[in-house]
Every structure is written in C-alpha cells, then in structure tokens.
Amino acid sequence: MSNSTPAPTLKTKLAHQSPARQALRRLLLHRSARTGLVILGILVIFAVFADWIAPFDPIKPLKGVVRRSAPCIHLLGCPQDKPQHLMGIDGNNRDLFSRIVYGAQYSLIIGVSTISLAILLCGIVRDYVGV
C-alpha cells in the first residue's frame, strides 16, 4: 500500500493562506507596487530620522546668508568656506532641504490620520446601516 497524495499546486497553496497574505503576495507581484513601497519606505525613514538628517532648523531663518542662494554642495565644487545647502535657500533664509525633510513628517501624519478616520467612519456607517 502506497500513500500517493498529489503534489500541492499553487491553487491549493493559496487556498490555505490568510486573505492578508494573499493580498500582500498579489501586491508584490506588480512592479509599480514595489516601486511605491520603496518610495514610501524612504519617506518613512526621512520622517523618522528627520532630526539627524536635516542639517538646519526648518523654521528659523539662517543668519549671515544671502537670500535665495543657489544650492551649494562641497562635493560638487562649492567653496569650503560657504555653508553647504543641498537644495538652496528660500526667500526667508531657510534651508530648503531641511524644510522638505521635516515636511515628510507632516505628510505622513496627515495621510495616516486621514486614512484612519476614513476606515473608522466607514466601519461606523457600515454597522449603523447594516450592510
């Protein structure tokens, strides 16, 4: 007597996985989804480590800097005696790179809170209406 069970196929493997795992697997099959996840990951890293990444305070104006100066990157030939500003300075003497890095925090906070509120309200409405 031999125990001959058929080899599991992809369909039977997917049937035994949770719906969340199936959705994640399908999501990761798309190149655009993987690209979006990489960009989102970079945004999260910038938001979490903004205090260490941003070289200047994003709100306080810089002292002794010419207004609206072009980007100055020492690695690309900018003189060493000038302060380094990766994206330049805005009209109010604030470093643009620092403002963008700190802006990532606000973007994530607004996005997460909006989605959370939408999920909460949809759940309440669904329970109330009884759909």
Instruction: Kindly report, residue by residue over 93-111, the tens digit of the pLDDT.
Output: 888 999 999 999 999 999 9
Q: DSSP letters along 81-113, please?
A: TSPPBSS-B-TTS-BHHHHHHHHHHHHHHHHHH
Residue written as token pair 């969340």: 20
**pLDDT one-digit tens code per residue, 15-32:** 678 888 888 888 899 999
Q: Cβ distance 87 to 100 under 8 Å?
A: yes
Structure tokens at 73: 């990157």
How far apart CA 118 and CA 99 sit, in angstroms, is: 28
pTM assigned to the model:
0.67
